[in-house]
Structure 1
Amino acid sequence: SMPLPNGLNLCSLFVQDSVNALALDLNHPALRKNKNIDAFLSRYEKAVSRLRELQARLDDFDRIKLIGRGAYGAVQLVRHKVSKQVYAMKQLSKFEMIKRSDSAFFWEERDIMAFSNSPWIVQLCCAFQDERHLYLVMEFMPGGDLVTLTMNYDMPEKWARFYTAEVVMALDAIHSLGFIHRDIKPDNMLLDRTGHLKLADFGTCMKMDKTGMVRCDTAVGTPDYISPEVLMSQGGTGYYGRECDWWSVGVFLYELLVGDTPFYAESLVGTYGKIMDHKNSLTFPDDVEMSKEAKSLICAFLTDREVRLGRTGVEEIKCHPFFKNDQWTFDTIRDTMAPVVPELNSDIDTSHFDDIEDEKGDVETFPPARAFVGNQLPFVGFTYFRENHKLEEKFKNEIQVKEELESKCSSRQRAEESLRKLERESALLQHQNTESLRKAELETERKRGLENEVSGLKEQVAELKKKSQISQISTEKNIHLERQLEEVSAKLQAEVQESGRLKKAQGEAVKQAQQLELTLRELQERLTQLESSKLVLEQDKLGLQDALEAEKKEHSLGTETITDLQARASGLEEELKQMKASLSKAEGEKRQLQEELTGLEKLRSQQEIDLTFKLKSVQQRLEQEEEEHKATKARLADHSKLNQSIEEAKSEVLRDMERKLQEERQSKQQLEGKLMQLEKHQSVLDCDYKQAQNELQELRSHKHKLTEEVDVLTVRVEQEAQRRNLSQADLKAQRQEVTTLRSTEKQLKQELNHLLELKLSLEKNNQELRREREEADLHLKELKDQLEAEQYFTKLYKTQIRELKEECDEKTKLYQDAQQRLEDLQEERDSLAAQLEVSLTKADSEQLARSIAEEQYSDLEKEKIMKELEIKDMIARHRQELSDKDNTINSLEESNRTLTVDVGNLASEKEELNNQLKELLQQLQRAKEEEKEMSIVKVSFEKQLQSERTLKIQAINKLAEIMNRKDVVPSGRRGDDIELRRREKENRKLQLELRTEREKLNSTIIKYQKEISEMQAVIMDESQVRVDLQMALDSKDSDIERLRSQLTSLSIHSFDTTSISSIGNERDDESYPEVFYPFPFLTGALFTPCPHGGAVVRITHSQTSESMSFTYQRSSKSVYIDTRPCRITPLFPLDSEDEDEEEQQRPRLALTYERPVDCEPAGDPAWRQKKRKNTHPLMRCMHAQSNLWTRLIMNSFAYSYCFSKFRVALQTTII
């Protein structure tokens, strides 16, 4: 729906009002001359008439009785023809609403009653309109208003406390909607059928701004209940808040306890004078009993608006000791029995309302239009039906609930999907963990084999050393063998170191495996928790699915369960995030372990290959040199000492190497520690830098606030320039503010200097950190290069392994060929042995062939041994792989069996849980039924008890009502008193309306006279004061600009400086508020010196004279201020005939003004004759300098009025 200015929506009612308004505004003979308008109306005339028949109309209601009449309309009791419901219908004239748009707020009245659900406000059932009137159909309040209640009963303080508390609650409801009532009085307080109070008549309500204030230039309200600030707003710029309603509450409470309003006077002017002088005129009669709390509450309400009770909020009113009692509180007052419950005979009983005669006068309507005026357009969108509004709200609530349920279902589905993913990932982690454990075991076994081989090699070396001591070989071969032994020992040492490294890596792998096991256990525990929570969620889901249809009516319980589910889902999501993070960490650790294991496997395989080749070569050489070693036995004894020295040198070299490695490791650890410290230091510096940035931001915001405060000060200076009497005090205050600004400027300078120092230190630290970070980056780059080199070597190792595998395949083929050759050779050997046995004689000739055959045989045996070793290794690997695969298959089968068993157990448990859940649901249903039965019984008992209590309270209240009921007087006299009170109120209302109309007329006349007469005399003073103020403001502007320039130069980032508007562009024709003080008999004189010096106003009057002169003197020059007396009419008629006769006997007094010759209007020769004409004694006094001046003038006039017969001259001096 499209939003509209008045908070409406583009709905069917708005479209209907628009069509009706357009048709009514265009349906005029002058407008129908236009062909387009005539074609439009003729085309849609039937549709518009059909639409009007379908809309709500006045004919849908039967009018029963007129029960009220106001300034803008009447209220009638009606009955709806279809539903037979009784309502109160308020009828407002559209012409009056437009004519008095400044004081008639029908939109506010309609919105408050339509959109407020408060029990303290009369509810609007529907609103419709026709061509001439607006209709507001409201709930009927059969108890009447509080005026009739106070006329029929004596109001004790207990009752006054009750009704005042209900008025406070009703006003709080209106203020919470953002409105001010401005017409609180007993006439607007209605009683329902139970005797409780509701507020009505919101035609004077006005919307508050963001600060809780209202701007209005007309005084709105009833004279006896109007507040001083509202009264002062007449003809000026009134600016007041919700405290004006609390003033009216104080008047209402006084009237309840005393029987009359506190500022009642015979004339309207007297009432207003008492209200303005409320500090002296508020008195409490001695013959009325009133508690101290009631007096303090009334005095707290009837005081100045700055200290009035309720200005800061309604809570301070509720806490007042006047409202303390044992029967009710502000929360339970609506449920308690009212002091007076109206006795009703039927639903249309109007005995509590006054009889009002119907006025059959002609209703003023819109004049016939000659062009398009749009008289119906201001009322478009006024139509309203509460049932439609309730249905729209219900539909919106159901849509919102549906969306919330859908979002929660989707979030639950996402949680279940994430749970499934977690289960899959946990299964993968378990599988990967088992594989990593298996590989670690294989590595340990391989390590053990390597250690055994190394120990065997050591034994062989020891045997070789023993044999070398015994053998006697030549020195050259011995040296050669020693070199080979040194190489073998160096390689063995390297192998030992590598084995140590492998042990360490194995230990780290074991530790990592243990850590992985711990993480897996934690993950398994979390998985069990998640599974249990999943089961709980599934159970909740089943319960929710079963109870969804039943819980649609009870949305509150559903929302609670949904919030619980949301919390659980959010907790599950957090756990899922944690699980994902832990799983990602475990996967990273697993990948690192796998990479390390692959590297270790490659190193081990390469070392095994190298060792096998080396061992074979060493064995061959040892076998060859065994025979020669015997010959060189003696020489080895000499060289044994050399060998020992060589071995000692080797051990020393190894120790040096180990020490260097240890130092390198320590240096590496130190570098890593330094890197960690640097990173920590950098993080700390980053935090400090962020804190400094935050402080700078706060300083900027503080500076922005200061600039805003300076702007506010300039605005205040502009306002204070209009009030000339307060200019000097304002200048002093502004100077003080400038001093404070300077002090704040100094503080800001100090803070900025401190911040600059901090910034420099932070920049230095940042530079050092950047250098250290660059060094760390270089070191990291070197490490990355090393990693890339290692990765390159791993790739080379992989290619070598592939080549070795290919060579192994080729060698297996060669081994098979060698085996065939060996078989052939063995056959040949057998044949040769036979030949050797047969032919011993041919030994010499075959010696050479035999040696050759033996050499070939030895070579073949060596090759055979090599191939056998390789085959054994391959077979062992194949067997190990087969055993590993068998183990994995067995473990998988076992896991599959356990999973099938778990699935079966879970299914059985699920069935059992479902059965238990069904039983629990049945028990819960039974318990609910029993609870419903018990609740029904409880409600019946409570109703009986409540009825007994109400009957008892009604009997007590009836007794109190009979006791407080006023004495029965003759019907004729009582009717006369009621009629007299009603006519007095009507007279006051008429006097108020007459006064407002006259003031409006006088204000329009005074505007032009003020510009011509008074501004000519005051303009020089104004110009001088403005020049002084402009100079002061220019100096202040220069100071402010200087401060801003300094602040902008010191700040890091530039701020947008807001320009301060100069005050020199004020209007020269500004008007000042007007106050009217009509006094019929004035005698005396008044001298008021001008506050700027040199100007004196002299006011004189006597009973013998027929004129009153105003003299305004400045610099020895007289300026006479004059207003045309012929246009000034009496403010209000006299109250009685005696006063008329007394006025006729007295000499007619007039208020005239003398004007200099050069100030007479041109072209008006009869001006001096009109000047002397007798008029009603109405004096107007202009606020030329300040409100204080006018108050003192008013006091002086009142004093002269009191002593008119003694011709007292009064002089008052204004300082």
Structure 2
Amino acid sequence: MSFFRIGKRNKKKNKKEIQLKEQQKLKEQKKQSEKEKEKEKEKEVVKTNEYTIKKSKETKQYLETYFSNLNKSSLERMKRRREFEENLKSQNLPKKEYSRIRDEFYKKENAQNRLKTKKLQASDFEILKIIGKGAFGIVSLAREKSTGDVYAMKILNKQKMIKQGQVDHAKTERDLMVTIDNPWIVTLYYSFQDENYLYLIMDYIAGGDMMTHLIKREILSEEETKFYIAETIVAVSTVHQMGFIHRDLKPDNLLIDKRGHITLTDFGLSKGYKSIRKEMEEEKEFKIPEKKKHKNSTTNKKLRQKAWKARRKLAYSTVGTPDYIAIEIFWRKGYSETCDWWSLGVIMFEMIFGFPPFASESRRETFQMILNWKEYLIFPEDIYVSDEAKDLISKLVCSPKDRLGNNGVQEIKNHPFFNDIDWDLVEKRQKEPLYIPEVSGITDTRHFEDFEDEFSSDEDDSLLSDEDQKQLEKQDQFAGYTYKRVNKQRPKVFIQEWLTNFEQNEKKKKKVRVKKKKK
């Protein structure tokens, strides 16, 4: 009996121990579950905080930009009106003309002030003609409906910018044009966005771009080349002084204004160097060519010119070209502002000889030639070029460590090729150009390529991933993109243009009166 009781007691004891263990296990599981819930809550709080911090930064950025522009706008308006009154008085005009020009100036001034307070949208502009096309959008000649002012309007597709990793490029381009305010850089007046597009409203430079000019002219004289290269040096150095590097300097980014001077822009419509290099590396059997010199004959030159002429006409397309990109950018080992001077040397070569030094029938070959630039930088013998010009090109299209400009832009200015250049006149845009484009009016587009005058929002769109689409919907990537310049009007220019138009109208009226008398 005692043995049976002991066994029964042990069973009860074991049962209690099992129950206690199970209870303990349940408690531990409950604690673990509570800990996991706490962790999840903490993660949610962190996510919420990150989103809040991000939104706070964006709001702060927007408010700082808004109030900075507001203050700048007020000061600039006072300065502009004072300048207008002083210039107008100095003209000694009759009272009637004085009143008319004054009324017209302030009428336009008020219209533009109203425009600054309005939220801009694409429907505020009428597209007159497409003057440029590229991988991410178009550039058009557009008229602002309320003021009648004419601009170059750049429209960029957000989906394509995100998919191709060009968001930072779009922001940098906008920031550069906002930061730099001088006649060498195309003026940005407004930037805004909608659900699908980014818009940049800029000065319309009616003389066209250097690429179109070169297609028409084939080659330029050394004197013309010297003028354009000197002005481009000053333009690019102003970009460098503000802490920017162009990286994509080429003839289609050099605009010629109606007075014949260079204005620098970056339409940013062709593929960047990263995508070009990626495509080259994805080519089957990609390899660097053997280091042998190509034939330097007139026949070879003509073949290269023929190939490059066709290539130049595709420059506005989605194809893109590596012809002007410095070798160190392809190396991916870091680069400095001197990469722009390599591009300048390539442009100078093209102006004189009619084609870039590394032009070929395919981008793959061009890429390989740039990597082996020592073997392929050859000067054709059938065009006379001064030793100074050849020497300058050789000291720009070379290894970064040997390149002119490493010790500042003055190094380039001091080169013997520029011995007869008055840099003071160049910097003031007072050196007389050898070519002045014929421009009949503010909507004259004869100096630009002809494109289909139709812009389809669905054209060549590619679908985004779900993640990219969410980012696009949030609009976070393009926060702070909106910008409005204080005012477009320049008092002195306004007065000169008004008086010119007035004189022309008076002459026409006089001719009409003479004809009537004869009858």
Q: TM-score range by the shorter chain?
A: 0.5 to 0.7
Quote the sequence identity (%).
Answer: 39
| Structure 2 residue 482 is matched with structure 1 residue 387 | no
Of 187, 204, 213, the match for 2:252: 187
1:730 corresponds to which residue? none
Distance change in 2, residues 1:84/1:274 (3 Å): same
Residue 371 of structure 1 deviates from its aligned partner by 10
2: CA distance, partners of 1:389 / 1:86: 11
Alignment partner, residue 441 of structure 2: 346
Distance in 1, matches of 2:65 and 2:393, equals: 50
Candidates 128, 141, 156, aligned match of 2:221: 156
The answer on 1:83 being equivalent to 2:83 is: no
Aligned length: 340
> Cα deviation per residue 1:586-610 (whole Å; 9 max; x = unaligned)?
xxxxxxxxxxxxxxxxxxxxxxxxx
- Report what 2:400 is aligned to: 305
Q: 1:8 aligns with which of 49, 61, 70?
A: 61
- Mark the CA change 1:389 to 1:252 in structure 2 (over 3 Å): closer, same or farther: closer
Structure 2 counterpart of 1:271, from 348, 351, 366? 366
- Preserved contact between residue 260 and residue 436 of structure 2 (Cα < 8 Å): yes
Structure 1 residues 330 and 130, CA, compared in 2 at 3 Å: closer, same or farther?
Answer: same
Structure 1: which 5+ runs fail to align? 15-52, 206-214, 391-939, 944-1215
Cα pair 1:194 1:341 within 8 Å, conserved: yes
**In the TM superposition, what are the counterparts of 1:43-54 in structure 2 within 5 Å?**
54=118
Alignment of 1:572-971 (within 5 A): none
Deviation at 1:321, TM superposition (A): 1.1
**How far is 1:332 from its partner?**
4.7
Residues 131, 139 of structure 2: 8 Å contact kept: yes
- Structure 1, residues 1095-1127: CA drift from partner, whole Å, max 9, x if none? xxxxxxxxxxxxxxxxxxxxxxxxxxxxxxxxx
Secondary structure of the 1:271 match is: helix
The answer (yes or no) to whether the contact 1:216–1:239 under 8 Å persists in 2 is no
State the partner residue of 1:1064.
none
In the TM superposition, residue 204 of structure 1 has moved relative to its aligned partner by 8.9
Q: Aligned equivalents of 2:438 and 2:66: distance in 1?
A: 39
1:255 aligned onto 2:350: yes
Q: In structure 2, what is the Cα distance between the partners aligned to 1:269 and 1:372?
A: 36
Q: Which amino acid aligns with 2:187?
A: Q
For residues 363-382 of structure 1, the aligned pairs below 5 Å read: 363-364=461-462, 373=471, 374-382=473-481
Q: Deviations over 1:982-1007 (max 9, x none)?
A: xxxxxxxxxxxxxxxxxxxxxxxxxx
Give CA deviations for 1:247-291 in whole Å, capped at 9, x if unaligned: 110000000000011112223232222212211221111111101
Secondary structure class of the residue paired with 1:74: strand
| CA displacement, residues 793-829 of structure 1 (integer Å, 9 cap, x when unaligned) | xxxxxxxxxxxxxxxxxxxxxxxxxxxxxxxxxxxxx
State the distance in 2 between where 1:339 and 1:3 align.
54
Aligned to 2:157: 93
Secondary structure, counterpart of 2:334 in structure 1: strand
Question: CA shift at 1:8, angstroms?
Answer: 3.4
2:235 to 170, 179, 183: 170
Q: How far is the alpha carbon of 1:120 from its aligned partner? A: 0.9
Q: How does 1:505-544 map to 2 (within 5 A)?
A: none
Residue 201 of structure 1, CA deviation: 1.3
Q: For the residues of structure 2 that align with 1:370 and 1:280, how far apart are their CA atoms?
A: 44
Contact 1:229 1:244 in 2 (8 A): yes
Q: Secondary structure at the match of 1:262?
A: coil
Q: Could you tell me which amino acid in structure 1 is paired with residue 395 of structure 2?
A: A
The separation in 2 between residues aligned to 1:245 and 1:367, in whole angstroms, is 35
Letter paired with 1:62 = E
Q: CA deviation at 1:56?
A: 0.5
User: Could you say what secondary structure the match of 1:387 adopts?
Assistant: coil
Residue 330 of structure 2 corresponds to 231
Q: Distance in 2 between matches of 1:216 and 1:229?
A: 12
Does the CA contact (< 8 Å) of 1:188 and 1:199 recur in 2? yes
Once the two structures are superposed, what CA deviation does each residue of 1:554-607 show, in whole Å capped at 9, x if it has no partner? xxxxxxxxxxxxxxxxxxxxxxxxxxxxxxxxxxxxxxxxxxxxxxxxxxxxxx
Aligned equivalents of 1:217 and 1:149: distance in 2? 28
Partners of 1:371 and 1:232 lie apart in 2 by 33
Kindly state the Cα deviation for residue 102 of structure 1 after the two structures are TM-superposed. Answer: 5.1
Distance apart, 1:372 and its partner CA: 6.1
Give, in whole Å, the separation in 1 of the partners of 2:56 and 2:475: 21
Equivalent pair of 1:145/1:191 in contact (CA under 8 Å): yes
Counterpart AA for 1:185 = K
- Say if 1:120 and 1:197, in contact at 8 Å, map to a contact too: yes
Closer/same/farther in 2, CA of residues 377 and 306 from structure 1, 3 Å limit: same
- Native 8 Å contact 1:103 1:204 kept in 2: no
One-letter identity of the residue aligned with 1:186? P
CA offset at residue 54 of structure 1?
Answer: 4.7
Q: 1:11 to 1:261 in 2, by over 3 A?
A: same
- 2:195 is the counterpart of 1:136: no
CA distance in 2, matches of 1:137, 1:124: 6
CA shift for structure 1 position 223 = 1.5
Larger Rg, first or second structure (1 or 2) = 1
Aligned to 2:180: 116
- What do the CA deviations read for 1:645-689 (whole angstroms, capped 9, x no partner)? xxxxxxxxxxxxxxxxxxxxxxxxxxxxxxxxxxxxxxxxxxxxx
Tell me how far apart the structure 1 counterparts of residues 415 and 258 of structure 2 sit (CA, whole Å).
Answer: 29
2:222–2:385 Cα contact (<8 Å) kept: yes
Q: Distance in 2 between matches of 1:326 and 1:9?
A: 45
Per-residue displacement from partner, 1:136-188 (whole Å, max 9, x unpaired)?
00000000001121223341000000000111111111111111111111011
Residues in 2 aligned to 1:325 and 1:95: alpha-carbon distance in whole angstroms: 50
Cα separation, 2, equivalents of 1:389 and 1:372? 37
Question: Which residue number corresponds to residue 107 of structure 1?
Answer: 171
Q: Cα 1:7–1:200, aligned 2, differ >3 Å: closer, same or farther?
A: farther
Distance 1:57 1:165, change over 3 A: same
1:282-324: per-residue Cα shift (whole Å, max 9, x none)? 1111111101110110000111111111122111011111112
Partner AA of 1:226 in structure 2: I
Greater share of residues in helix: 1
1:182·1:244 contact (CA, 8 Å) conserved in 2? yes
Give the whole-Å Cα distance in 2 for the aligned partners of 1:191 and 1:86.
Answer: 17
Letter aligned with residue 201 of structure 1? D
CA contact (8 A) 1:74 1:91 kept: yes
Amino acid at match of 2:131: I
Question: What secondary structure, in the 3-state scheme, does the structure 2 residue paired with 1:347 have?
Answer: coil
Equivalent AA in structure 2 for residue 268 of structure 1: R
Superimposed CA distance per residue, residues 1130-1179 of structure 1 (whole angstroms, 9 cap, x where no aligned partner):
xxxxxxxxxxxxxxxxxxxxxxxxxxxxxxxxxxxxxxxxxxxxxxxxxx
Give the Cα–Cα distance (whole angstroms) in 1 for the partners of residues 337 and 132 of structure 2: 27
Provide the rounded CA distance (Å) in 1 between the counterparts of 2:254 and 2:390: 22
Change (3 A) 1:325 1:81: same
8 Å CA contact 1:108, 1:203 repeated in 2: no
Q: SS of the counterpart of 1:257?
A: helix
Q: Which runs of 5+ in 2 are unaligned?
A: 1-54, 68-116, 279-319, 490-495, 500-519
Normalised to the residue count of structure 1, the TM-score between the two structures is 0.26
For residues 76 and 239 of structure 1, the distance between their equivalents in structure 2, rounded to whole angstroms, comes to: 35
Structure 1 residue 73 corresponds to structure 2 residue 137:
yes
Amino acid at match of 1:143: G
SS at 2:486's partner residue? helix
In structure 2, what is the Cα distance between the partners aligned to 1:259 and 1:125?
Answer: 35
The Cα shift of 1:132 comes to 0.6
Provide the rounded CA distance (Å) in 2 between the counterparts of 1:167 and 1:370: 38
Q: TM-score, with normalisation over the residues of structure 2?
A: 0.60
Deviation at 1:194, TM superposition (A): 0.9
Greater length-normalized contact order (CA 8 Å, ≥ 6 residues apart): 2
Q: Residue 230 of structure 2 contacts residue 426 of structure 2 at CA under 8 Å; is this kept in 1?
A: no
1:201 aligns with 2:201: no
SS in 2 for 1:75: strand
* Contact preservation (8 Å) 2:58, 2:479: no
Q: How far apart in 2 are the matches of 1:86 and 1:290?
A: 41
